[in-house]
């Protein structure tokens, strides 16, 4: 029994290595949660949020470092969002998180006038990106990501 507990503690300690934040080269559109509406998004103004689930939040593996077209967006922690301006066209998103090992993924996104909300979240084997154009559940619990 003691060996099992030690093994579990060792796994948690190894998987809780925090991902170092990267400095953003984007200008964030600063806003309060109360000011964010779907009507204010689109036409190049896009909200990107970290939709990590409970399992990634408890072991500190939900932090995502994100690049767009090889330009660092920065680190978005779980239940955080940023609002940025992106020109229309094909954009390459790169997302990285640590879950025992560094997991990196690439995602092609077509940005147009209708693109409003993008969810990025860590998964067990990689990262997932979805253009949702809708706010996440319990959006009132989200906060704006600060530049780190």
Number of structural domains (the chain) is: 1
92 touches 123 (CB < 8 A): no
What are residue 47's DSSP bridge partners? 83, 117
Residue predicted with more confidence, 38 or 148 = 38
Does residue 12 carry a pLDDT above 90?
no
Judge whether 14 lies within some domain.
no
Which of the residue ranges 23-37, 99-113, 118-132 would you say has the lowest mean pLDDT?
23-37
Give the H or E element holding residue 10: helix 2-15
Non-local CB neighbours of 6 within 8 Å, separated by 6+ positions: none
Q: Strands across the sheet with 45-50, in order?
A: 127-131, 117-122, 45-50, 80-85, 143-144
Average pLDDT, the chain: 86
Split at pLDDT 50, 70, 90, the class of 6 is low
What the block records as the tokens of 44 is 């190049």
Judge whether 35 lies within some domain.
yes
Split at pLDDT 50, 70, 90, the class of 7 is low
The dihedral through the CA atoms of 63, 34, 140, 53 has a sign that is: negative
Distances (CA, A) of 94 to 3, 36, 60, 91: 39, 25, 20, 10
What are residue 65's DSSP bridge partners? 75, 96
Judge whether 8 lies within some domain.
no
pLDDT, average across residues 19-32: 74
Output the pLDDT for position 128.
Answer: 96
Q: What is the pTM of this model?
A: 0.82
- Which residues span the domain enclosing 76? 19-144
Cα(14)–Cα(17) distance, integer angstroms: 6
Judge whether 99 lies within some domain.
yes
Judge whether 29 lies within some domain.
yes
Judge whether 129 lies within some domain.
yes
Name the nearest CA neighbour of 144 among 34, 45, 19: 34
Judge whether 3 lies within some domain.
no
Output the pLDDT for position 23.
Answer: 74
Judge whether 75 lies within some domain.
yes
């Amino acid at each position: 029994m003691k060996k099992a507990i030690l093994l579990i503690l060792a796994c948690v300690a190894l998987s809780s290595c925090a991902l170092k934040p990267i400095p953003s080269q984007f200008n964030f559109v600063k806003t309060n949660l109360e000011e964010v509406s779907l009507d204010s998004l689109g036409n190049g103004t896009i909200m990107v949020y970290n939709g990590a689930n409970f399992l990634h939040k408890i072991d500190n593996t939900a932090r995502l470092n994100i690049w767009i077209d090889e330009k660092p967006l920065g680190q978005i922690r779980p239940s955080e969002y940023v609002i940025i301006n992106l020109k229309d066209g094909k954009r390459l998103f790169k997302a990285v998180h640590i879950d025992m090992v560094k997991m990196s993924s690439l995602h092609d996104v077509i940005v147009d006038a209708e693109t409003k909300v993008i969810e990025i979240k860590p998964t067990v084997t990689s990262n997932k990106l979805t253009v949702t154009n809708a706010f996440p559940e319990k959006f009132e619990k989200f906060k704006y990501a600060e530049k780190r």
